[in-house]
Amino acid sequence: MAISMRTLAKWHIWLGWLVGVPIAMWLATGLFMTLRPIEEVRGETLRRPVEPAPLVLPGSTLASPEAGLKEMRVVMQQGRAVAILTTLTGEIRRVDFATGTALKPLDAVAARALVAQRIEGGAKVERVTLFPADKAPFDFRRPLVAWQVALADGTNVYVGRDTGEIEAVRTRWWRAFDFAWGLHIMDLSEREDTSHPVLILFAALSLTGALIGCVLMFRRRKARPSVNS
């Protein structure tokens, strides 16, 4: 049995009452969140610049003043403690934490083996590609030399060449979500800018339209008498 246009109109009105307020609330809060850059919201703009100082541990040969370290992270790799050292210039290298012996950067074979060990389905590898820090793939977007281990199910696993760690796992769903996020914030180039004029404008227009719709819900339509021609 066909549904009449009058019935659909009634359903539309009732659905409008049901979802009108949440939609207006979502749009209002969304507009509010676009008004300031996320860096300002997080208070990053309030931080005063500080001259970088090297990490120095008294008595340590790894974190000596001459090493010029910015950060030292100790992790377990293949049953031994490994120190991942990052210098003030951004250079990354690994050493054996106990002996200080430098460890070689991971090659393609080692990256493939790490993924096979730590990732479900990681043994089904289609290709392994090394990307330099300044040419990172778009789904990685980190200034880090990394091996891209592409799996058969479409997942890309990124292994740091100099860290020896899995730095990111990008599934097909992640890439679809990332694309949807870019559309959501209207920033398909970087997918990070949540406060720009185009987004603010359309958020304001959408909120205005939703509020007008809510006001019209209170309007009573009077039945018009039919006029015979």
pLDDT of residue 216: 79
Q: For residues 115 and 108, what is the distance between their CA atoms, to the nearest angstrom?
A: 11
Tell whether the model's pLDDT for residue 149 goes beyond 70. Answer: yes
Tens of pLDDT, residue by residue over 68-109, are 999 999 999 999 999 999 999 999 999 999 999 999 999 999
pLDDT of residue 11: 82
Determine if the pTM surpasses 0.75: yes
Handedness of CA 132, 137, 139, 143 (dihedral sign): positive
- Look at 5-19, 53-67, 98-112, 210-224 and tell me which has the smallest mean pLDDT: 210-224
Tell whether the model's pLDDT for residue 39 goes beyond 60. Answer: yes
**Average pLDDT of the segment spanning 111-132:** 97
pLDDT of residue 228: 54
pLDDT of residue 225: 53
Tell whether the model's pLDDT for residue 215 goes beyond 60. Answer: yes
96 forms beta bridges with: 82
Q: Tell which wins on pLDDT, 19 or 192.
A: 192
Q: For residues 128 and 123, what is the distance between their CA atoms, to the nearest angstrom?
A: 12
Tens of pLDDT, residue by residue over 150-188, are 999 999 999 999 999 999 999 999 999 999 999 999 999
